[in-house]
Structure 1
Amino acid sequence: MRAIAAITLSAALVALVSLSPAAAAEPSPELTYWPETDLPITVVGGAAWVATELAKKGLAPASCRWCAVGRLDASVRDAVVWRGNPDTAHDLSNVTVLGVAPASALGLTALAAWHDGRSENITADLLIVTEAMVVAMDLNQLTKYVVGRQRPYAHFGNDDVLCSHGGCSPPVPHDADLSFFSGHTTAAFSLAAASGTVASMRGYRAAPWVWAQGMAIAALSGYLRMAGDRHYLTDVLTGAAVGSAAGVLIPYLFHGPRPGVAGPDTRSFRLSIAPAHGGAGVGVAGHF
């Protein structure tokens, strides 16, 4: 998977560099951005998600509340699950969502700003993208604990999953009834949609590449969750819908340009990077 990640980012960099730099890019719109508000929301929301993961034993339902499986979910599950090695798909989905998807979304957004000569936007852009993902994941976590849907490997008694770690029991304690909806898919689609939305709102020339790369990776993550027998089709589709909605609406509704509204914007907080004695120097300036 390191090779996949390297190829993904290399292809993105080649695509950005290949864009014609003949005409200077128009100055990108300033987005509404309050670091004193957006940063705490992101940090507290992320901490809340981590806390609920650590407290899974007390929060997860003792048994499934949603145990039945519809015909569509059952038929798709039979068609796509990796027989004999579903854990390989599960591992690949972890690498994709925890590594490739954030590296692509955040990296391409930063590269798009840099390529257009708007490096001062990078800090705000990345925080907005991360904020959208955190909000989507908190909503996902709350829904999982409330709904209590049984995972497919548990419902169908898939020994390739249950007996693959030295004992025939759920591979992750207290996790067998947290299927709805897919957190991996939610994270990947929220990152893809938020990075694409921010790039489009800024008017970056590389915005189409940001959208295409992010959505392709997100779709792959959803497929791998089903191939690993961790989620049903409806889990994945719901995660894609919620993640995409959060990724589009949070930047658009809360961070879009507000003509005539006074207040801090992206120029109130800047991160600069410059060569220094064979290395790099980092500087932060702004109003805090």
Structure 2
Amino acid sequence: MRRHPLLVPSALAAALALAAVPAPARPAPADLQVNVAADGAVTAAAFAAALGVRLLERDLLPVSCRWCSPGRLDAWAHRTLAWKTASRAATASDLLGVGVPLGATAALAVPDLAAGAPRRAAEDALLVAEAVSIATLGTELVKVGTDRIRPDAWDGSGPVHALDSRLSFWSGHTATAFAAVAAAGTIATLRDAPAAPWIVGGGAAAASAVGYLRLAADRHWATDVLAGAGWGTAVGILVPLLHWHPIAHVRLMPSPGGIAGEF
């Protein structure tokens, strides 16, 4: 077969032209629109309301507990997971319960500050705080409403008549830890942050450790921890999503029937 003399140069020119075409741009990350005044007010109001419920617990709780005995799962976990030195687990859970939200916030804010974006760092921290405050308020309301006895009060190893002994459901430590981690992970994912997988994975492990330590401290039943984790995760995901406004890319092009749009 005879080869046309212009075929090779033409093919080479076409290949060079295709190589010169830039690759499709990566979609821009989501835009989180934060109103500092409004979100700050929601955060402060939720924290204040949670504190108000806590101060009124003595008046809100009935004379005797409403939920006074565990089910099979809770009884088994109580026998299996509670430490003999429960006070050590309680101290560890208190420290980790504070450290996990702070660590999740720092995982977002520090890269923002390093990138020269202090406003974004403040907005991210505010969204995490907002999720934690809402999770805390919901927890306080449910604790008073369910009036569940704590494991150490049920078995007599802890204070039986203390007001706090009837605020077991659900675990506040677990709820706030998961709310902070879920919020930070969702924000990092929506912003397409390189550290997003580490925040989600590491944060989930740390928050789970908080829940386990509350069981080991004999301060919560297994269902308290599971419910707190579910509530905190739901709030932590929902708060950033309510501020999410994906950046749409629209391109108009001619079509046989007129003009078509590509999104």
TM-score, normalised to structure 1, is 0.73
Q: Which amino acid aligns with 1:245?
A: A
Matched, 1:70 2:71: yes
How many Å apart are 1:137 and its aligned residue? 1.2
CA RMSD of aligned residues (A): 2.0
Pairwise CA distance, 1:62: 2.5
Q: State the shift of 1:56 in Å.
A: 2.5
**Which residue of 208, 221, 239 corresponds with 1:219?**
208
SS of the equivalent of 2:69 reads coil
Residue matched to 1:14: none
Of the three residues 240, 251, 257, the one matched with 2:245 is 257
Q: Alpha-carbon deviation of 1:196?
A: 0.5
In 1, Cα distance between the equivalents of 2:52 and 2:103?
26
Counterpart residue identity of residue 243, structure 2: H
Report the Cα distance in structure 1 between the residues aligned to 2:201 and 2:60, rounded to whole angstroms. Answer: 37
Matched residue, 2:57:
56
What secondary structure is seen at the aligned counterpart in 1 of 2:93? helix
Instruction: Give the deviation of 1:57 after TM superposition.
Output: 2.1
Structure 2 match to 1:154: 153
Instruction: Select between 112-121 and 59-68 the one with higher mean Cα deviation.
Output: 112-121
Displacement, 1:247?
A: 0.4
Q: Which residue of 2 aligns with 1:127?
A: 126
C-alpha displacement of 1:251: 0.9
Separation of aligned partners in 1, 2:193 and 2:96: 25
C-alpha distance in 1, partners of 2:30/2:229?
A: 28
Equivalent pairs, count: 223
Distance 2:237 2:114 in 1: 23
> What TM-score does the superposition give when structure 2 sets the normalisation length?
0.79
Specify the SS of the correspondent of 2:198. Answer: helix
| Percent identical residues | 36
- Alignment check: 8 A CA contact 1:113 1:204 kept: no
The structural deviation recorded for 1:58 is: 1.9
- Please say if 1:240 is aligned against 2:205: no
- Matched to 2:43, the amino acid is T
- 1:27 Cα deviation (Å)? 6.6
Q: Shift in Å at residue 222 of structure 1?
A: 0.2
How far, CA to CA, are the matches of 1:200 and 1:181 in structure 2?
28
Distance 2:111 2:178 in 1: 19
CA distance in 2 between partners of 1:210 and 1:63 (Å): 42
Who is 2:175 aligned against? 186
C-alpha separation between the residues in 2 aligned to 1:204 and 1:113? 10
Structure 1 position 117, deviation (Å): 5.2
Partner amino acid, structure 1, of 2:216: A
Instruction: Decide whether the 8 Å contact of 2:188 with 2:196 is kept in 1.
Output: yes
Residues in 2 aligned to 1:140 and 1:120: alpha-carbon distance in whole angstroms: 30
SS of 2:193's partner is: coil
Residue 259 of structure 1 and its aligned partner are, at CA, apart by 4.8
Note if contact 1:32-1:258 (Cα within 8 Å) is conserved in structure 2.
no
Distance of 1:179 and 1:152 partners within structure 2: 8
Q: Residues 1-288 of structure 1 correspond to what in structure 2 (within 5 A)?
A: 28-83=29-84, 85-98=85-98, 100-115=99-114, 118-158=117-157, 161-162=158-159, 169-170=160-161, 173-252=162-241, 254-257=242-245, 259=247
Q: Name the structure 1 match of 2:5.
A: none
* Runs of 5+ unmatched residues, structure 1: 1-24, 163-168, 261-288
Gaps of 5+ in 2: 1-25, 249-263
8 Å CA contact 2:30, 2:247 repeated in 1: no
Give the drift of 1:55. 2.6
The 8 Å contact of residues 30 and 246 in structure 2, kept in 1 or not, is answered as no
Larger deviation, residues 47-56 vs 222-231: 47-56
CA shift, 1:76, in A, is 0.9
Higher Cα Rg, which structure: 2
Per-residue Cα deviation, 1:164-191 (whole angstroms, up to 9, x for no partner):
xxxxx55xx3111111111110000000
Residue identity matched to 2:206: I
User: Could you tell me how far 1:116 is from its partner in structure 2?
Assistant: 5.0
Residue 111 of structure 1: how far off its partner (Å): 2.1
Q: Distance in 2 between matches of 1:117 and 1:110?
A: 11
